[in-house]
Homo-oligomer: A and B are copies of this chain.
Amino acid sequence: MDESMKKLDAFFNPCSVAVVGATKKIDKAGHVIFKNFATNKLRGVFKGDLYPVNPGEDSILGFKCYPTIKQIPFDVDFIVVIVPAKVVPSIMEEAASKKVKAAVIVSAGFKEVGNKELEEKVIAAAKKGGIRVLGPNCLGIYYSKTGVDSLFLPETKVLTTGEDVIATPRPMPGDIAMLTQSGAFGVAALDYLTGRQMGVSKFVSFGNKCDVTDYEIFNYLLHDEETRVILSYVEDIKHGREFLNVAKKVTAEKPVVVIKAGKSEAGARAARSHTGAIAGSDKIYEAAFEQAGIIRARDMEEFFDAGKVLAMQPPALGNNIGILTDAGGPGVMTVDELEIQGLTVEPFSKETIQKFDQLKADGVILRIAATHNPVDLTGSVTDEQFVTSVDLMFQDPEVDGIIFLGLHHMPGLREKYIDDVAKVACKYRKPLVMCDIGETEMALYTRSRFDRLGIPSYSSPEDAARSMRALVKYGTYLQRTGAAEEYIKGFLQRKNWH
């Protein structure tokens, strides 16, 4: 690890942390953040040293409090700063004299509200002292493994009824890195990812990006074994050329999904007053993402859905999709959306059609079933018919991926098909995504069971189709750059498929 990487590493693996602006007032950000670290230290998750800094307190939550950073008689790697904006430059100067490596500046009131000069003072002090800065106007870092948690939003909230409810949960460990320029979108993402049982490797909130920017964190994550997929909410990207270079290296090994806000004119205006972002021409971003093999999501749902599918399934090495369904209408909806997305649903090869005809002749599947793609086994479907059909479809060399619409409602289905279909999928190198429609008991169970078995499930046909598009986009890119074979090999190994 070179020197610059070591400094970035201090954000995630600090030996010692000072929380500047820590306080006993429980409603304050400075309290919540300090308490995060203190709690994680008690739990044994955060193993570093911890120092609250506040001239007005003697101790906080049992930790000895220091009036200034300077007065801490030990080394300090990493600081989290939550003090009024105008005080931040002097804090940075002090931190420099303490040889602090990394700083998260949570405080707002800089460039985003027109205080450019103040922000430049912070940058100058940090540069002089060799401190890497995340923010200002950000949430900073959440990394479950080392207990670094600079989020000022507490996990639970007390209602007026006195009840304690989960408000800003921290997701379980997993292989998705979540990066965000918007703090609010960041906490919303944590809430979403937790609820959908999607694990997070590292969370980074950039805010105004006065120093550490996208491409450096991308580079850090390129070498991070825990991260397999990167999700990034972006309003603007700085250092475009460096970003492109790094992004290309990343996408050869790890899929990247971006949601770019501020794409419309009014949206760009709103972004300006949000993080001070100069959004620039959307076409330039579009071209850059395309060139770097970054998948751009149209909206929030597609953003998370693409992250899920890329974390769970191998990419598709072609754009012809097979559809297996027990529900005619949703089958048609899936075809429609795939075609809109530029994918195809071509009839199967002769061999596959003959095999399906044989299954009909043998009475294995119903004679009235449609078997030319989509395969519609109708409301009379059984568990066995699904399993036999999906296996047969996987074998067709012209099928590059399969969307499985296994609507649980059909009376002949038990839940056996779930595990059996998932087992078949592991025999092949092609992706499978599934959809079941409904919001009550059996639908929720079916989707969550498929997820657990590694088959990403969706609640609408179009969501499934758009997720398949992400796999096709990524697969096409990998093939173009010659990285497909190695990526898939690594993927199958990691997942322990055949």
Q: Are A154 and B270 in contact (CB under 8 A)?
A: no
Q: Are B235 and A184 in contact (CB under 8 A)?
A: no
Instruction: Please provide the chain A residues from 331 to 376 with a CB less than 8 Å away from any CB of chain B in the complex.
Output: 331-333, 335-340, 344-346, 368, 370, 372, 374, 376
A235 — which chain B residues lie within 8 A by C-beta? 329, 332
Partner of A441, one of B167, B414, B441: B167
Nearest B residue to A368, CB-CB = B113
A496 on the interface (CB 8 Å rule)?
no
In whole angstroms, what is the CA distance A412 to B153 when docked?
Answer: 10
Q: Are B462 and A270 in contact (CB under 8 A)?
A: no
Least distance between A107 CB and chain B CB atoms (Å): 12
A309 on the interface (CB 8 Å rule)?
no
Instruction: Please provide the chain A residues from 149 to 196 with a CB less than 8 Å away from any CB of chain B in the complex.
Output: 152-154, 157, 159-160, 165-169, 180-189, 191-192, 194-196
Q: Are B261 and A183 in contact (CB under 8 A)?
A: no
A448 on the interface (CB 8 Å rule)?
no
Q: Are B184 and A328 in contact (CB under 8 A)?
A: yes
Q: Are A438 and B195 in contact (CB under 8 A)?
A: yes
Nearest B residue to A461, CB-CB = B300
Q: Are A333 and B299 in contact (CB under 8 A)?
A: yes
A411 on the interface (CB 8 Å rule)?
yes
Least distance between A26 CB and chain B CB atoms (Å): 10
Interface-side segment among A118-126, A402-410, A470-478? A402-410
A160 — which chain B residues lie within 8 A by C-beta? 414-416
A379 — which chain B residues lie within 8 A by C-beta? 183-184
Q: Are A188 and B407 in contact (CB under 8 A)?
A: yes
Least distance between A144 CB and chain B CB atoms (Å): 16
Q: Are A410 and B336 in contact (CB under 8 A)?
A: no
Count the copies: 2
A301 on the interface (CB 8 Å rule)?
yes
A407 — which chain B residues lie within 8 A by C-beta? 184, 187-188
Q: Are B29 and A409 in contact (CB under 8 A)?
A: no
Q: Are A266 and B344 in contact (CB under 8 A)?
A: yes
Q: Are B414 and A339 in contact (CB under 8 A)?
A: no
Instruction: Please provide the chain A residues from 444 to 484 with a CB less than 8 Å away from any CB of chain B in the complex.
Output: 445, 460-463
Q: Are B368 and A270 in contact (CB under 8 A)?
A: no
A274 on the interface (CB 8 Å rule)?
yes
A196 — which chain B residues lie within 8 A by C-beta? 439
Least distance between A136 CB and chain B CB atoms (Å): 13
Q: Are B439 and A330 in contact (CB under 8 A)?
A: no
A493 on the interface (CB 8 Å rule)?
no
Least distance between A395 CB and chain B CB atoms (Å): 22
Q: Are B409 and A331 in contact (CB under 8 A)?
A: no
Q: Are B182 and A462 in contact (CB under 8 A)?
A: no
A263 — which chain B residues lie within 8 A by C-beta? 336
Q: Are A462 and B339 in contact (CB under 8 A)?
A: no
Least distance between A462 CB and chain B CB atoms (Å): 4
Q: Are A167 and B300 in contact (CB under 8 A)?
A: no
Nearest B residue to A32, CB-CB = B411
Q: A182-B332, A188-B438 are in contact. List 14 more A-B contacts (CB 8 A).
A: A165-B445, A166-B442, A167-B408, A167-B441, A183-B379, A185-B437, A195-B440, A264-B336, A266-B335, A273-B376, A274-B332, A299-B462, A300-B461, A301-B462
User: Could you tell me which A residues sit within 8 Å of B by CB distance?
Assistant: 27, 29, 32, 108-109, 112-113, 152-154, 157, 159-160, 165-169, 180-189, 191-192, 194-196, 233, 235, 259, 261-267, 269-271, 273-275, 299-301, 326-333, 335-340, 344-346, 368, 370, 372, 374, 376, 378-379, 407-412, 414-416, 437-443, 445, 460-463
